[in-house]
Structure 1
Amino acid sequence: MKKTILMGLALVAATMAQAAGDRVFALAPAGDVDAALAEQVRARIEENSGAAVRLAPAVPQEPGQTLEAIGRAAARTLAETDHSIIVLARAGSDQPQGVCLPQERFAALNLDRLEAGADAAKLERRATQEGLRVMTMLLEMSPCPFPLCVLVGYEKTEDLDRMSGNFCPPCLD
């Protein structure tokens, strides 16, 4: 009887480990993005999402390179256990705030756009919120209508400062 229970528990643990393994995301800095900022954002995304997020090696970035090109270069570095990669880049104010291509397994966030009018703490919070948002896009989740969810739509970067940094209970599931 004890052996049966232990075998059952081992099977459940193995199943849960496999399910968790399916949810590994990578987060990488690109170019001159501070590694400490990338680690702080990684830790907060992992804490708020419940998904495993590993810090990937920095992605080389050429001057004038587009977010799409940076993201594609990062996607080529994915490990077999990675679902997708989120890249933190400084691509200039002429580039979009972010790009997310789930079919290519990457999202790239432009810290130069997120940093407008922000101190270091606000930049970290904005990058975390956008990281959570693109993570759900990579999982092909829909936006949420609940106003206290991180997945609710917004119009301006400054709106991120007033939004919740957490998922609502249905989205967290």
Structure 2
Amino acid sequence: MNILFLCTGNSCRSVLSEGTFNHLAPAGLRAISAGSQPTGWLHPRAVALLQRKGISTDGYYSKSWDDLPVTPDIVVTVCSSAAGETCPAYLGPVLRTHWGLDDPSHVTGTDDEIEAAFERTYAIIRARTEAFLALPLAELRHDQAKLKAELDRIGTLLP
């Protein structure tokens, strides 16, 4: 099963999600990330955070949803509708869900305040990923409506 974490720039939240998911997921589940308008670079704080957590970023880069190596089974948008961002709508016959996250790269303040925003975003991503991985996926794959409901519920979880 392939999960696509999608946002606009594919430099921060979607990359944090991809790395965290792939680090925790068992064989047979794989995440990729992409953006509708990729920045072309990964946010250095996102990369540093993943590395501090022991999560490899080898091979990760900011890419367009037009250049996906596989067709996703599930698309998870991670932009924050509360912040007035417009989430891209992936076109294709896939299951879609929204796990809104505020963009820590837009936080201003001291280094500690900015770092705290990145840590908070990571904690939310990790909690949602762990909830996803705890689902009885073999059972839910046969009930798309129930799987969608579970994914939508996970998108509201906070650690």
TM-score when scaled to structure 2? 0.44
TM-score between both structures, scaled by the size of structure 1: 0.41
Q: Which is higher, the Rg of structure 1 or of structure 2?
A: 1
